[in-house]
C-alpha cells in the first residue's frame, strides 16, 4: 500500500470520527439545555404550593345582646392546618385551607350574665373544638422571585364543631377556702354544629396578621333557652412554612 492510499484512508477515518463526535455533541448539548430549562410548577410563587400554618390570637367585641360578656385578653383561639395555593395570574391566586381551631371564651362573672346560667362561679369558660375549611383569594404585591412575598388574602370559612365544653370552678360546697370543685360539661345540646363567616389576612413571607368575623349563630335558636351570642370577632397572627 503506497503512501497516498494511507493518507486517504487516514483522512477518511478522521472525517468520520469528527462527524460522529460532532453529532454526539449536538445531541448532548440539546438534551442538557432542555433539561436545564424545564421549570418546576411547584414553589411559593409558582403554580402549586402547599404549606403548614399555625395561628393564635384573641377574641374581641361585644355579644349581640346582654348576658354573654367575656374577659378581654383572656379569651383566645389557637389554630393549625394545611394550605394549598393555586397561582392563576402574575399577581392573583386562589387557595384552600384545612385546619383545626380551638376557641376559648373566658366568661365574666356578673349578675347580668346568663350564658349558660346565672350562677356566679369563681372561674368559668366555654371551649369549642372545630374542624374548618376556608377558600381564599390572594392578591400579591411587588415583583418577587420564587418566594411568597407581600400578599392580601380574603375569603370565607366554615366550621364543624365536633366538641363543646362548659367548664367552671367553685369553692368547695363545705365552705373550705383551700378546696375547689371543677365541673366540665361536654357536647352541649344548645350549640349549633356548623359556623361560617369571612376572614382577611395581610402578610409577607411566612408571617401574617389575620382577622375573622363569624356571621352564623353559635347557639340553637330553637333551644328552650334563647342564649345571647358570644362575640364574633377574632384577631391574631399567623406563621407558615415556606
Q: Determine the average pLDDT of the residues in 192-219.
A: 96
- Could you state, in order of their start, the residue ranges of all structural domains in the chain? 1-38, 40-240
Extract the C-alpha cell encoding 198.
369571612
Instruction: Please check whether residue 172 is in contact with residue 183, taking contact to mean a CB–CB distance below 8 angstroms.
Output: no
Residue 19 CB contacts under 8 Å (≥ 6 apart), including other chains: none
Q: Between these two residues, 159 and 114, which has the higher pLDDT value?
A: 159
pLDDT tens readout for residues 98-156: 999 999 999 999 888 889 988 999 999 999 999 999 999 999 998 777 788 899 999 99
Burial grade of 38 (CB within 10 A; 0-12, 13-18, 19 or more): exposed
Please report, to the nearest 10 degrees, the dihedral formed by the alpha carbons of residues 107, 109, 115, 120 taken in order.
130
pTM reported for the whole predicted model: 0.79
Backbone angles phi, psi at 4, to 5 degrees: -65, -40
Closest CA to 103 of 62, 186, 164: 164
Contacts of residue 129, defined as CB under 8 A and 6 or more positions apart, other chains included, come to 100, 101, 102, 161, 162, 163, 164
pLDDT of 48 over the 90 cut: yes
Q: What is the pLDDT of residue 5?
A: 55
Task: Label residue 36 by pLDDT band (50, 70, 90).
Answer: low
Query: Residue 35 pLDDT more than 70?
Result: no
Q: For 54-65, how does the pLDDT look when each residue is reduced to its tens digit (9 = 90+)?
A: 999 999 988 888
Helix/strand/coil for 152: strand
More confident residue, 89 or 5: 89
CATH node for 40-240: 2.40.160
Q: What are the Cα distances from residue 162, in Å, to 81, 83, 127, 192? A: 16, 21, 11, 10
Please tell me the distance from the alpha carbon of residue 22 to that of residue 11, in angstroms, as a whole number: 16
Eight-class DSSP state of 108: P
pLDDT at 232 over 70: yes
Beta-bridge partner residues of 101 = 79, 130
Q: What are phi and psi of 25, to 5 degrees?
A: -65, -40
- Is residue 100 within 8 Å of 132, Cβ to Cβ? yes
Amino acid at each position: 500500500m503506497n503512501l497516498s492510499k494511507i493518507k486517504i484512508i487516514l483522512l477518511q477515518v478522521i472525517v468520520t470520527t469528527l462527524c460522529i463526535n460532532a453529532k454526539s455533541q449536538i445531541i448532548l448539548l440539546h438534551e442538557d439545555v432542555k433539561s436545564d430549562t424545564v421549570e418546576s410548577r411547584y414553589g411559593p410563587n409558582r403554580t402549586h404550593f402547599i404549606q403548614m400554618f399555625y395561628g393564635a390570637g384573641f377574641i374581641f367585641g361585644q355579644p349581640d345582646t346582654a348576658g354573654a360578656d367575656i374577659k378581654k385578653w383572656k379569651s383566645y383561639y389557637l389554630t393549625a392546618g394545611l394550605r394549598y395555593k393555586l397561582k392563576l395570574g402574575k399577581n392573583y391566586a386562589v387557595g384552600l385551607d384545612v385546619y383545626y381551631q380551638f376557641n376559648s371564651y373566658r366568661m365574666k362573672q356578673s349578675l347580668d350574665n346568663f350564658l349558660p346560667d346565672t350562677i356566679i362561679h369563681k372561674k368559668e369558660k366555654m371551649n369549642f373544638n372545630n374542624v374548618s375549611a376556608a377558600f381564599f383569594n390572594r392578591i400579591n404585591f411587588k415583583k418577587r422571585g420564587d418566594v411568597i412575598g407581600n400578599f392580601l388574602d380574603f375569603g370565607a370559612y366554615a366550621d364543624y364543631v365536633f366538641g363543646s365544653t362548659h367548664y367552671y370552678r367553685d369553692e368547695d360546697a363545705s365552705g373550705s377556702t383551700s378546696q375547689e370543685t371543677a365541673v366540665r360539661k361536654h357536647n352541649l345540646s344548645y350549640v349549633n354544629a356548623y359556623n361560617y363567616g369571612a376572614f382577611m389576612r395581610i402578610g409577607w413571607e411566612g408571617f401574617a396578621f389575620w382577622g375573622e368575623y363569624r356571621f352564623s349563630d353559635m347557639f340553637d335558636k330553637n333551644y328552650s333557652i334563647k342564649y345571647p351570642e358570644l362575640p364574633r370577632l377574632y384577631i391574631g397572627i399567623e406563621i407558615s412554612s415556606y
